[in-house]
Amino acid sequence: MSSLLVDNIGELVTNVAGSGVGAPLGIRRRAAVLVEDGEVAWVGPAADAPAADRRIDAAGAAVLPGFVDSHAHLVFAGDRAAEFAARMAGEPYTGGGIRTTVGATRAASDGELRATVRRLRAEALRQGTTTIEIKSGYGLTVADEARSLRIAAEFSAETTFLGAHVVPAEYAARPDDYVSLVCGPMLAAAAPHARWIDVFCERGAFDADHARAILACGQALGLGVRVHANQLGPGPGVQLGVDLGAASVDHCTHLTDADVDALASTRFDCMCADGGHTTTVATLLPGAEFSTRSPYPDARRLLDAGVTVALATDCNPGSSYTSSMPFCIALAVREMRMTPAEAVWAATAGGARALRRDDIGVLRPGARADLIILDAPSHLHLAYRPGVPLVRQVLHNGVPR
């Protein structure tokens, strides 16, 4: 069993509440982390660090859990740069461009799709993302959704069936038939490769009745629930997600007081290692508002109400073509009135909660050894120095990348 000591850490963000300062980050100063067999084996003062086979000198820098990006659409072909340019020239975002990517994705080979996922997965890892959820949703046929998830599963254990992304053009006149296809043969083909089911519950996509029917079918096959909710306007998505015990409702840009109350009241018993409860997380995706020039979600309102907030990229070729969690942290701090500590927590532990995981987004004995060493003395620099590549080194499953 080989061991690795990350030593001489100036600021260690553990996300273990009560174990340090700067709640909820659980910050330790002058710390070290011992890694064995891909897991964190020990965390403590650098002066007490045990011997190890190998050593990485953090040279006084900040060390954080790897980012957990709980919302990304990586299986696609083509890009929509022209659509972005048109939006920046004043055209509104409606979500309709998804069908452009559907056409390109259906026409692509497995090898082309796999190469895109591999490239984006590597791009995210370089920027500190050690867990990334990957959705289908640009195939929208039984065969194309199944192959999208098969390819996604080669790169992540967190795969999500999003057959209900939009109603494809060939079903435009008969959306009920498309819902039957999604709930029947498409779900049956997708479920073996998916952990989650998701629906784009939005005007122009799927209404509450359709969304509820689709999510219930997925739940019956053992898939966990996530919802694209309340992005483009007020709607039923958030409360539907809460009703169904969703792990996360994502976007949450247009919320009523009742939506916020519903999220704040979610409490489900769980067997979490931290002894805590689990909730329906509000996952905010500020890259989408940035790239569609839309008003940002009100993170402050959610946090003040006691809602658990996560940050994710929504990486996709239409509305948010970024894989950068540090960029999302900077946006959340500057544009959504989150403190740097809240944003860093939301991008690590928050993302883990949104995936109902307690072995990532945290640095404690037994957790996965996913951590990042910054080219900076503090987590504050992630928002303070926007756009600067501050991730010096990534350990993924204990392996330096």
Residue 83 or 314 having the CB closest to Zn ion: 314
Cis amide linkage into residue 50, ω under 30° from 0: no
Q: Which stretch binds Zn ion (CB under 5 A): 107-115, 149-157, 267-275, 307-315?
A: 307-315
Q: Which is nearer to Zn ion, 314 or 370 (CB)?
A: 314
Which residue intervals of 249-324 are DSSP H helices?
A: 257-264, 286-292, 299-304
The least CB distance from residue 73 to Zn ion, in Å, is 6
With CB under 5 A as the contact rule, which of the stretches 5-13, 119-127, 314-322, 363-371 interacts with Zn ion?
A: 314-322
C-beta separation of 99 from 172 below 8 A: no
Residue 289 in contact with Zn ion, rule: CB under 5 A: no
Q: Quickly count: other Cβ atoms within 10 Å of residue 245's Cβ.
A: 14
- Give the nearest distance from C-beta 198 to Zn ion in angstroms: 8
Measured from the CB atom, is 289 or 314 closer to Zn ion?
Answer: 314
Q: Which of residues 315 and 372 has its CB atom nearest to Zn ion in the complex? A: 315
> Which residue of the chain is nearest Zn ion when measured via CB?
314
Complex with Zn ion: residue 259 or 314, whichever CB lies closer: 314
SS3 of 47, please? helix
DSSP result, 115-179: HHHHHHHHHHHHTTEEEE-EE--S--SHHHHHHHHHHHHTT-S-EEEEEESS--GGGTT-HHHHH
Q: Are strands 196-201 and 391-396 parallel, antiparallel or unpaired?
A: unpaired
DSSP one-letter string for 89-110: TTPPP-STTHHHHHHHHHHS-H
Closer by beta carbon to Zn ion, 313 or else 348: 313
Count residues binding Zn ion (CB under 5 A): 1
Please state, in angstroms and rounded to a whole number, the distance separating the CA atoms of residues 197 and 138.
14
CB 228, min distance to Zn ion, A: 5
To Zn ion, the closest distance from the beta carbon of 237 in angstroms equals 12
Which residues in 320-359 contact Zn ion (CB under 5 A)? Answer: none
**3-state class (DSSP) for residue 245:** coil
Nearest residue to 151 (alpha-carbon basis) of 187, 110, 191: 110
The pair of three-digit structure tokens given for residue 146, joined into one six-digit string: 């199944």
Between residues 336 and 390, which has the closer beta carbon with respect to Zn ion?
Answer: 336
CB of 193 to Zn ion, least distance (A): 19
Residue pair 255/245 in contact by the 8 Å Cβ criterion = no
Q: Which of 26, 317 has the CB closer to Zn ion? A: 317
Residue 133 within binding range of Zn ion, rule CB under 5 A: no
Q: Among 12-20, 187-195, 306-314, 384-392, which window interacts with Zn ion (CB under 5 A)?
A: 306-314
CB of 310 to Zn ion, least distance (A): 13
* The residue count for the chain: 401
Least separation in angstroms between CB 250 and Zn ion: 6
* Segment interacting with Zn ion, rule: CB under 5 A, options 37-45, 93-101, 313-321, 362-370: 313-321
Cβ proximity to Zn ion, 79 vs 375, nearer residue: 79
Q: How far apart are CA 256 and CA 108, in angstroms?
A: 41
Q: Is 261 strand, coil or helix? A: helix
**Residue 71 and residue 132: Cα distance in Å, rounded?**
7
Greatest CA separation for the chain: 69
Write the binding mask 57 to 86 for Zn ion: x where contact by CB under 5 A, - elsewhere: ------------------------------
Tokens 């940035």, residue located? 290
Question: Where does this chain touch Zn ion (CB under 5 A) — which range of 75-83, 118-126, 252-260, 308-316?
Answer: 308-316
Q: What is the nearest approach in angstroms of Zn ion to the Cβ of residue 71?
A: 6
Is 314 among the residues that bind Zn ion (CB under 5 A)? yes
Query: Within 160-219, which residues bind Zn ion (CB under 5 A)?
Result: none
Nearest to 327 by CA among 316, 335, 319, 317: 335
Nearer to Zn ion by Cβ, of 133 and 342: the residue is: 133
The residues of the shown chain that bind Zn ion, judged by CB under 5 A, are: 314
